[in-house]
């Protein structure tokens, strides 16, 4: 994850990471590389425009361009609901009274 305060600084970071990666024989995957910004600005890597997204998952948390946490809350509620549903057989087992 790269963070910058200006579009120019972010483009410089992208270019630097790509250059250092190339020095070590690594290639930036355009399919996996995305950018999230709060304004309309096009960022490029190796001459290709990077896809802009409104949100992404980082270390289990959903990060949005607006800072809205409702997506994170809904995601965690869904995970909890799934865990509880998977325990339905346990809740209904009469032998465990």
38-67 pLDDT, tens digit each: 777 888 888 888 888 888 877 777 777 777
16-20, 26-30, 90-94: which has the minimum mean pLDDT? 90-94
Whole-prediction pTM = 0.61
Is residue 5 predicted with pLDDT exceeding 70? Answer: yes
Grouping H, G, I as helix, E, B as strand and the rest as coil, residue 87 is: coil
Q: What residues pair up with 44 in beta bridges, in sequence order?
A: 49
Distance CA 82, CA 88 (A): 10
Mean pLDDT of 5-14: 90
Distance CA 82, CA 80 (A): 5
DSSP 96: G
């Amino acid at each position: 994850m790269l963070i910058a305060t200006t579009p120019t600084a972010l483009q410089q970071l992208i270019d630097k990471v790509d250059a250092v990666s190339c020095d070590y024989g690594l290639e930036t995957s355009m399919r996996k590389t995305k950018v999230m910004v709060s304004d309309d600005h096009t960022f490029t890597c190796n001459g290709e425009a990077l896809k802009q997204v409104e949100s992404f998952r980082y270390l289990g948390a959903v990060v949005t361009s607006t800072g809205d946490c409702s997506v994170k809350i809904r995601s965690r509620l869904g995970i909890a609901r799934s865990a509880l549903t998977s325990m339905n057989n346990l809740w209904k087992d009469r032998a465990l009274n």
